[in-house]
Every structure is written in C-alpha cells, then in structure tokens.
Chains A and B, each alone.
Chain A
Amino acid sequence: MTQSKWLVFSLVVALSIMLGPFLIIFFASFEPSSTLRFPPTGFTLSWFKKVIGMSMFQKSLLLSLRIALLASFLSLLLGVPTAYATSRYDFKGKRLIELISTSPSIVPGMVAGLALLRFFVLLRIFSIETTLLIGHTAIVLPYAIRSTLASLVNLPISVEEAAQSLGANPIKSFFLVVLPNIKVGMISAFIMTFIISFNEVPVSLFLSGPGVNTLPIVMMTYMEYYYNPSIAALSTLLIGLTLVIVLIAQKLLGISKFV
C-alpha cells in the first residue's frame, strides 16, 4: 500500500509544479497596491479594467488572433492535400515531402526565427504582417499534416472505392466522402494550430516589427518596463481562456486527440 501512496504523492508534486503557479497568479491579480504580491493585501478588479482598456494589448491581441486564424486556415489548406497524397499514393519524393513537412518541428523556434528574419525582413519582400503569417504557417503546418494524417489512416480506402464505383469522380469523392469523414481530425488540427500560433514566441520575436507585435511579445516588452499586477491580470485572463478552450475541446473531441 505504501508503494501506491508514493505514486500518488509524486503525481501531486508534479501537478503542483505544473499548476500551482496558476492559482497563485490568479490571487495576485486582485492585489490593490501596485506591487506584485502573494498573498494579496486586499481585493480590486482595477488591474483587469486597466489591462483590458490598454490599446497596446488590444492591438496586439487582434494581430495575434488574425495571424492565428489565418495561419491555421492556410496550414489546413496546404496540409490536408499533402496528408491525403502521402496516405493514398506512392510517388517519387514522398519521403522527401514527409521529411520537409515535419522539419519545422525539429528545427528550434529560435533558429527558424533568425533564419526567417535574415531572409525576409532584410530583403524586404513582404510586409511585417505577411512575414509573420508565413513564419507561423510554416511552424504549424506539420501539426496540421500529422493531425489529418492520423484520421486519414483510420479511414479505409474501400470507402472511397465504393463511392467511385458508384460513379463519383475522384474530386467528388474527396469532397463528399473523404472530407466529411476526417472532420474531427481537421477540427482538432485547427484548434491545435490556432493555439500554437497564438502562443508562439521565438519566431514572432524576430519577425515582429515597430508597431506590429503579437500579444506574447508585447507582454514580454511591457514586463521589462513595468512591474505591477497588470500582467498578472492579463495572465489570469489568458490562463482562463485556455482552460475554457481545453474544456470545450475535450467535450467535443475527447482529450486523446490532443496528445
């Protein structure tokens, strides 16, 4: 019996290292004075009001949302055909495509960020926002491919063959049979890529420019100059938002889709 007590104890230790700080920052964001403090000395919502009203956070939040939505959309647009081709056909260069499509997850974000910066910003081909979008799409694409590939593998080819033998051409069977069947995989790919892009730091760090910064970058810059509970309030909001997304995703898809 003592053995299983040890197991439970280590699980509790692990969970408190992972989640404990979230609880503490939650309480610290109600601190009335202007220092970050735990335990708090009182209760106020003014930091939440302040942080929601600040235009630098509003602007960067909108940029982050825009980039995350577009990057997820683009990665599905590129990723679903790629995943379909690699799961259904055998062709020359298939290994290469597989390697290339997984490479962004092997290359560290800092390395990718620096490389993209040198390439795009110094050459000045695109606007900052477009460069950010390209960088984010490259980062999230492997996740989109992997997620849709997993549900394509579970869909037997015979289903498509049946559709085609009943007179559907390959394009029709792709849109009417394949796509509806991998819907769950695509939704989970979308949520996954959205969250990764929304939280992405290293690539944005290099590709952001004057006035065009994603939310995490603005938070980091703000922290260097001001040390008050407003970042605590903002963190609490973001943590709460993530909790809601994770719970919804779990209800919709089951958590196994994410791991």
Chain B
Amino acid sequence: MIFFLLPLLAMFAESVYQPTKGWVVHRYLEFFRQRLSRTVYVRSLLMGFSVTFVALLIGYPAAMAVVSVKNDSLRSLLMTLLVFPLMTNPVARTFSWHAVLGREGLINNLLLTLKFTDSPVRLLYTRGAVFIGLLQLFLPLMVISLTSALENLPKDVPLAARSLGASAFNLFTRIYLPLTSEGIVTGCTLVFTGCITAYVTPAVLGGSRVLMLSTLLYQKASITLDWTMATVIAVIMFLSTVAVNTLSRAISTIGVKK
C-alpha cells in the first residue's frame, strides 16, 4: 500500500510546490482560465449529469422488471447478462460501437438504405458517441444498485399502499422513490464518478475531437509533456470525485434521519 499512497501524496505535493520552480499554485488558476481546459471540465461534468440521468431513467424500470421476475433461472440469467458487460475487455466493448456508428456501420447503412441521407453521417468522434458508450458502460452498475435496493423493499408495502387506494403515480413517488433512495444515490454516484474519470470510452469514441478530462490529462502527460498541468488535472479529477462521494453520503444520511 505504501507503493500506492506515497506516489499519490508526492503527486499532490508536487502540484502545489516544486523544488526547482517554487510554488506553482497558479497552474490551478491557469486550468480554469484557459478556454480549452475549462470547456473540457464543463463538458465532462455535463456528460456525467446527462449519462447519470438517462441511466436512472432507463435503469429504474429495468431494475423493477428484473425484481418482478419470479422464475429463478430466468432471473439469474438476467443478472448474468447485467454482469457480463462489466467483465468484458473495455477496448473490445467500446470498439463494438465502431461497427454501429462507423461510416459503414449499422446506422449509416440504415440511413442510406432508407434514403434519409445521401452520404454517410459522421457519428463517431461526437459527443453523442461518447454519451452512448458511457451509457452502455454504466447502465449495468445503475441497474445492479437499484435491483438490490428494490429487493430490500418489503413486498407487502406496495401492496398495502395499493389496497389503500394509492394511484400508480402516488405509489411511485410516495413508496418506491423514498424507500429506494439509498440505492438511487449509490447508483448515481457510481455512474457520475465513473463518467468523469473513464478513459477508454472518450478515447475510442471521442478522440481528440471530443476531449474529456481523462483524455486531456493523457494528452498533457504524454504528448505535450506538460507534467505540472497533467498533475493539476489529476488533482482536480480526484477532488471532483471526492466531492461527489461526500455529497452523496450527506444526502443519504439526511434521508436516513428523516
């Protein structure tokens, strides 16, 4: 563990003070003053929000469907299907989208055949491509978190609510949402922090056209060799994930107190 924490502390120290250059705190200001890095940071956060939102929107009913399956073998098959993408080589998984979104991929061939367009549309290396890739990557995490939350929900509570005349809408907002809030917070935290730190998906589907925090970090570190800036980005990335984690813990403790 010394091998892990020591380098980390050394890196944090270095992003603030360097023996040869003195204090370098101004590089943090530079990160937010430069348009490129600011755009990339905002883009990463927005991407995180939108992927989390859509994952929750699709994942919640999907998890309800998984939980409602009574047949044990069908249910374990579904769980296997959910776990399987998480275990797959990330480059292989992400590259699969090239066959869907590429110039001669599924969507372009479909559009051409249906005469919606005369020439192939550029779908790869767009924000949409990164979005769908991240959604594929993190949907399983969301569904799995929500499934375990829904499983812990006592079966007779929704039944009781319904027998007392609760409408479907009320049942959802008054029973399901509050009782599974912890699972929702966990799922959203996992997906959001995953989105702002993932490397393979933005690298393979966004390239240098759609830079994200992680791809910018790598560019600084290995192409422009601006080590201080790379370190600054790494620290900002780390602090952002810590902030999200702290925030979500605060939210779930408030939920418990209620």
Contacts and interface: CB of A to CB of B under 8 A. Distances in A.
A28 B205 CA distance: 18
Q: How large is the interface on B (under 10, 10 to 19, 20 to 34, 35 or more residues)?
A: 35 or more
A22 to B, nearest CB: 6
A17 B238 contact: no
Contacts of A259: 79, 83, 144, 148
B89 A14 contact: no
A22 B195 CA distance: 21
A245 B96 contact: no
A251 to B, nearest CB: 10
A107 to B, nearest CB: 6
Nearest to B6: A119
Contact of A37 (B58, B68, B105): B105
A59 B235 CA distance: 34
A229 to B, nearest CB: 9
Contacts of A18: 81-82, 85, 136, 139-140
A63 interface: no
B200 A38 contact: no
Interface string B103-121: 1111001000000000000
B145 to A, nearest CB: 10
B88 A238 contact: yes
B139 A242 contact: no
22 contacts: A7-B68, A18-B82, A18-B139, A25-B96, A37-B102, A38-B109, A106-B242, A107-B8, A108-B197, A112-B8, A115-B10, A116-B3, A117-B221, A118-B7, A206-B221, A220-B203, A223-B204, A231-B95, A232-B99, A235-B91, A245-B87, A259-B148
Interface of A: 3-4, 6-11, 13-15, 17-22, 24-25, 28, 35-39, 100-101, 103-104, 106-112, 114-120, 134, 138, 141, 195, 198-199, 201-202, 205-206, 215-216, 219-220, 223, 231-232, 234-236, 238-239, 242-243, 245-247, 250, 254-256, 258-259
Interface of B: 1, 3-8, 10-11, 14, 58-62, 64-66, 68, 76, 78-85, 87-93, 95-100, 102-106, 109, 132, 135-136, 139-140, 143-144, 148, 168, 193, 197, 199-200, 203-204, 214, 217-218, 221-222, 227, 230-231, 234-235, 237-238, 241-242, 245
